[in-house]
Chains A and B, each alone.
Chain A
Amino acid sequence: MRVYLLCLLILLFPTAAHAVIAKQEMRPGIPASAEYLIGERNKPAVLLLHGFLQTREFSTVATLARGLQDAGYTVLSPTLSLNIPNRAQSLACEAVHKHSLDDDVAEIGKWVNWLKSRGHRTIVLVGHSFGSLQLLSYLSLNPDPAVKAYIGASLIEAQIGATVRHALIAQLEGRIHDKQRSLITQTLSFCKKYTSTPEGLLSYVRWDQARVQAALKQSPVSTKLIMGDEDKTLERGWLKALQHMQVPMVIVSGANHFMDGSHEFDLLDHTLKSLQAIQQASSP
């Protein structure tokens, strides 16, 4: 009876049947997990990264992961630990942020390696929002050769509000130099009171629009951006700046930063199109 019931579940939920939670210890005492959605072996594996302080359960990411899996792609959707063991919840802006962009990049590298350990030789990095920035940061630091392409949705720099970036950077560097360990509260991205260590904050603050653009230009893999023209979180002129760089980019009309609603399908379609193009380009 139980066997029949399991078969019925597999027939009704074929996707669920191909989902696995993968775990790794990123640092001592800091395990992290990722959802591994198994697709077709002949298609590139997608490493799909969530936005700032979010998890893989974030709606835009989760929907996109399901869509990609449905399209036959293997998707690994990790949740960055942010130096929290088995982090499973979105981290509050006011929480103690002891993580840095370097930690995030290191975890991305671990997950790329994890995919490679599973036999995936063609890996496409797909990120949303700040995840696109973190993936771009990964690409800028000797990425694994298995990584063949990069798709950034709603790419955004590390916004710090009205704070003068270089002054902030100088202040943070001074603190680090002085070994002041007290927490700093600063506007970062959508957080008005982002509380972090100076090192952690500094790692993010350095990624302004220029550095992003430089990383895009210097990307060792093909890149593609999917942006919404109704994305209010973006700095004014960011889209034009990107267009001016002539980076391959799709602008979804009417889509906001999260590309929710009907624009989820636009994001999926454009992602799939990019993946198909990547697959065709990489196929012998």
Chain B
Amino acid sequence: MKWPDSISIKHIALAFITGLLVLTSLIGGFAAYQTRTVTRSLEQHNQDAAQSELAAAVQRLLSQTEEQAVKLAYWDETRQQLVLPEYYAYWRDQRVYESGILNSRYVRVALYGKSGMLLAPSPAKTSLPARLPADTPPHQSSSWLVDEAGAVALYYAFPVYSDEQRQSLLGHGLIRLDFMPALLRQDTLHFTDISSVSMMLKPGEKLAVPDMFSRMDFRARPDPDQLRFQTILSRTLLALFVLLVVTALLGFVAYNRLLVRPLGRLSQVIDAMQHGHFSSNPARSQTMRISELENIRRSLYDYQLQLRELHGSMEHQNREFHSQARQDALTGCHNRRAYEEDWENFRQEVKTAPQGVAFLLFDCDRFKTINDTYGHAKGDRVLTIIADALVMALRANDRLYRLGGDEFATFLSRTTPAQAKQIAQRCQSLLDASTFSDLGIVEPVGISIGIAFCAADQLEQIDDLPKQADIAMYTAKQPGRNRIALYGEDTERASQTLVASRETSALFQALATPGMVEMHYQSIHSLPGCKVGYYEALARIRYHGDLIMPNAFLPVVSSRRLETEFDLAVLHQVDADLSSGQLPSGCGISINLSAQSISRPEIVSHLLELSRHNARHPLMLEITETSLITQMVEVRTYLDLLRTVNYRIAMDDFGTGYSPLRYLVDLPVDVVKFDISLVNKLGEDNRAGQVVANFARMMNDVGYELVAEGVETDVVLKKVASLGIAHVQGYLLSRPVPLAELSARLAVEETQTTCSV
């Protein structure tokens, strides 16, 4: 049995009262038992007393009868009747009663002569025998009982002498009396129940007086004092019990009011304090009648007041901390933490109140460049101005969150796609109206805005809004966009990005799992002759047997800022492929790297490690410049370092992205790969095609080794060849193939594609 850890004071009181009542009941029961014992003793005493007094009464009756017999025997008139019985009836019926010798008519007397014969017949009702019983002693008194028709009669026979010397017997006298009435008429029976006294005699049976008690049946009379005593005691016990019960109940009520309730209130107050709830006005709470409790209450309330003040102070500080924790210190708008909390709350809120929801993601264009160019201070100032402009553009209840760097977000409730776009445009307009010239920034500062919308009846997709806005932002960031993109409407590859969740999962799993990034190799051919010069390693992700292409996961890499991690995975896989020995010696490999990765030490370190393959496989790094290279000095330094270990540097996708000419000027580029969009221009016989052709020719003259990407037609191939571009790449010549297939082809030397140029 397990005892509870703590017992309520009310239970203690109940247990005490119950124990008290049980104890009282036991005492009452003991008293009742003792009373019953005493009662039985008294009843026995009464029985004994009844027997004694009954015996005394019988003896008294016998003595009285004997006394009457003696008086009669010595009475002159008795002797007269025995001698001269002429007026015997007068004597028998009158004189014996007038003289006072017999005091009751229930007692009859008869005289018998010496022969034992009755002097004269007695009245019939007296039923005195006509002759003395034969066994009557002649000179002695004798007595006996006879049952006569249910009535017990006592007979007392006595001799009558003529002289005092008892020498001359005259005859006998016989007294008859109704025994039971005579016995019970005595007023001396106090303990005997008169109605219960009876004599067990058979009809006509004669019983000697000494044997009387053996045949006598009787009961003791209930003692009225004893009954009164029992009644008083019972009532007293009952009254005591009732009094105790009432007292216990009143005591419990008083105990409850004076102790339990106040303690309960104190306990509640303490519990409330424990949970941080304080009474609004403790001084107004009900006072307690127990002085000690009142002291505790006052102390507790004083303590509560102090705690409340302290709590208020702490709450104020907490609010400040909370506000600070949720506020971006630079811009003053809400930070990422606030965003996460508010977004979670907002999600829950709209589930109960369906409405159109829009998620806007803001990103400053070329902020890295601005930051690098004008310094962090001015970069921060730019962010502040952007935040101010966005806040002004948003609706009154909309909140702006800085998610990190130059990325801001907001979510709009009760809106439509058109309204969201309108707000986005207002943001851009206000920002465009902002002047940055005070900061010395002359170039325009703009923001790209990705918008994702979820209608009221599609709220189950609300969790996808940030991702969709990210994709829209990626779209908006694309060159040639108007910097505002609505997911689903402006994202051309919405269907693909809709499954981005799958690609995202594949990407993150590939980054964490070596081998999932699979390299396909596309040959790059030298002109003229289209002989394979080297191979470009192109990344794929093998996910559950399917091959995920770069156009599906690269937007995720870009939006998630996973360029470095992805490039590391690529380098690992290229290293593995080269180390596998499946590629023949002298087979050069070109590796794509993002511009951001070049400035990462871990990338550079890995490239240095990978350079060990340069002896067998000349390595080229293709710097993709669709993104802004913000750390130009560091990139140049690293590229110079990599060139020392025989890496060749190629500028990929030239003709798209940011400041290509600046990159050519500032960076140690060996190879320039014309973007397919430029290459396609070569096929056109117009001014644009002329510009591209002239530019290619110029680049070639300067000494850059040119590669034309995306050559898919013979026309373009011939044009490229005519411009003196050293290398071409495209589906016209070959498609990317896995390492195993390439290895197999190289084994049979099927890779020697030839062309007519």
Contacts and interface: CB of A to CB of B under 8 A. Distances in A.
Interface in A167-185: 181, 183
B84 A88 contact: no
A92 B81 CA distance: 14
A13 B488 CA distance: 170
A72 interface: no
B90 A183 contact: yes
Contact of B83 (A29, A91, A95): A29
A109 interface: no
A96 B95 contact: yes
A40 interface: no
A56 B162 CA distance: 19
A86 B69 CA distance: 18
B164 A84 contact: no
A79 B170 CA distance: 20
B170 A88 contact: no
A85 B80 contact: yes
Contact of A96 (B87, B163, B164): B87
B320 interface: no
Interface majority SS (helix, strand, loop, mixed), chain A: loop
A55 to B, nearest CB: 10
Interface string B586-628: 0000000000000000000000000000000000000000000
B95 A86 contact: no
B80 A84 contact: yes
A98 B164 contact: no
Contacts of A16: none
Contacts of B461: none
B96 to A, nearest CB: 11
B402 interface: no
Given A96-B87, A96-B91, A91 B162 contact: no
B84 to A, nearest CB: 5
Contacts of B98: 92, 94
Given A95-B95, A96-B90, A183-B87, A86 B80 contact: no
B257 to A, nearest CB: 91
Nearest to B162: A85
Interface in A260-274: none
A31 B95 contact: no
Nearest to B78: A84
A58 to B, nearest CB: 15
B70 to A, nearest CB: 14
Interface string A17-55: 000000000000111000000000000000000000000
A87 interface: yes
A94 B87 contact: no
A94 B95 contact: yes
Contacts of A84: 76-77, 79-80, 83
Given A31-B162, A92-B99, A96-B95, A86 B79 contact: yes
A218 interface: no
B492 interface: no
A132 interface: no
A122 interface: no
B76 A91 contact: yes
Nearest to B163: A86
A83 interface: yes
A96 B92 CA distance: 11
A88 B79 CA distance: 11
Nearest to A195: B90
B398 interface: no
Contacts of A29: 83, 162
B86 interface: yes
Contact of A88 (B76, B80, B99): B76
26 contacts: A29-B83, A29-B162, A30-B83, A83-B83, A83-B84, A84-B77, A84-B80, A85-B80, A88-B76, A89-B75, A91-B77, A94-B94, A94-B95, A95-B77, A95-B80, A96-B77, A96-B81, A96-B84, A96-B86, A96-B90, A96-B95, A98-B80, A98-B84, A98-B86, A183-B87, A195-B90
- Enumerate the 4 nearest inter-chain pairs by beta-carbon distance, A residue then B residue, closest first: A96-B87, A84-B80, A29-B83, A84-B76
Given A85-B163, A92-B95, A98-B87, 9 more contacts: A86-B79, A86-B164, A89-B75, A94-B95, A94-B99, A96-B91, A98-B86, A181-B86, A183-B87
Interface of A: 29-31, 83-89, 91-92, 94-96, 98, 181, 183, 195
